[in-house]
Amino acid sequence: MKLVVDENIAYAEETFSGYGEVILSHGRKITNAMLHDADALIVRSITKVNQELLHDTKVKFVGTATIGVDHVDLDYLAEQGIAFSDAKGCNADAVTEYVYTLIAKFLVDNGWTPRETTLGIIGRGNIGSRIAKLAPYLGLKVLVNDPPLQRQGVRYPFASLEDTLQADILTIHTPLTMTGKDKTFHLLSRGTLGKARNIKFLINASRGETADKDALLVLTTERRIPLALDVWENEPHISADILNAVKYASPHIAGYSLEGKINGTMIMKQALDAHLNRTDGFMIASPPVVNNHIVISSERPIIEILNAAAQFVYNIEKDTALLKKGIAMDEMTRGKYFDTLRKEYELRREFTNYTIELRPFNLEKAIMLRAFRFTVV
């Protein structure tokens, strides 16, 4: 059996070598010729999987170790009888922690209290639902918009998009859909964001094309609203003007925790095992975190405690400084630099690996931290 696998999938060679020959390749360099005699293809979001890539190949299984599938032509796979699996939920905790790291930093840096802040969440999938569930532990008010789920009869106090846009902080967590009633391409447009009269901070960690770059530029340059972008239109060839304008920038790594990567790889393996009707009990063991003890005074406000803990784990300023070095580069060089940052990114560890010592111990604040999956002593 021959498998072609994106080289940036964690533990790819160790995980899939038991099936046969494994060809590792950069995701943007996987070609039809490379797949001519391959039986399986496992990719990430940067590889477009369609007829052009797969025609006249032996591929009978395609997996994407990502939560999004807009890079995969699912109709073509179904027509050709090619089995498919994605990794929905694999890095949901990592993205949730990324978002709350930004929210906590924004609130603390600007002297806001959670109880006077409304959080608007567009999309209540694996990530949006986690973000909404954690908000009450901080005292944040929440508005959640998800028309598809609402039409399905999901029991939840959904808000309209118009109402959600009145939140102080807006974060979007939808898939990218180009057409139809629930089209999310440029969901955040000039018209949409023009209705966001109360917005103070916007986060996009879903897909770059869900937000119109020009609309974001108006929001941040004319209305002076800070932006945090992990995803960008036309990745990896992102524009210098929007990169220069954002407050916080990262190269599509919101979900890049070691745990999330391992989850994605194992989901792919389990799906391939099911396709082949086999199993071997293989598991990936994650290494322990060495510097994982955090001491925080419990006399600090609850949002400051979360901010201190989150900043200990992840420094968004470092990612921002690195990515903004690309402003002075030409577009082609900037694109290569973006991909290099993603490929060589030092994977974060999730909150569950860290122990917080509250001095003195405070039960209310310990409950909050434990909700965010920290260990508290």
Q: Which residues are catalytic, by number?
A: 207, 235, 252
Residue 309 phi, psi dihedral angles, 5° rounding = -65, -45
Q: Are 169 and 109 in contact (CB under 8 A)?
A: no
How many Cβ atoms sit within 10 Å of the Cβ of residue 148? Answer: 16
Task: Return the ∠ at Cα 288 (arms to 287 and 293), rounded to 5°.
Answer: 155
Which is it for strands 248-249 and 169-172: parallel, antiparallel or unpaired? Answer: unpaired
Cα–Cα–Cα angle for 45, 51, 53, rounded to 5 degrees: 60
Whether residue 360 is preceded by a cis peptide bond, meaning omega within 30 degrees of 0, is yes
Q: Of 213, 223, 372, 218, which Cα lies nearest the Cα of 302?
A: 372
Phi, psi of 293 (to 5 degrees): -110, 125
The secondary structure of residue 317, as a DSSP letter, is H
Structure-block tokens of residue 189: 């447009």
Identity of residue 157: P
Helix (H, G, I), strand (E, B) or coil at 132: helix
Query: Pairing state of beta strands 21-25 and 355-359?
Result: unpaired
Residue 220, both tokens: 């941040």
Closest C-alpha among 377, 376, 374, 370 to residue 137: 370
CA atoms within 13 A on the CB side of 116: 7
Distance between CA 100 and CA 349 in Å, rounded?
Answer: 15
In whole angstroms, what is the distance from residue 256 CA to residue 69 CA? 17
Locate 195 and state its tokens.
């209705």
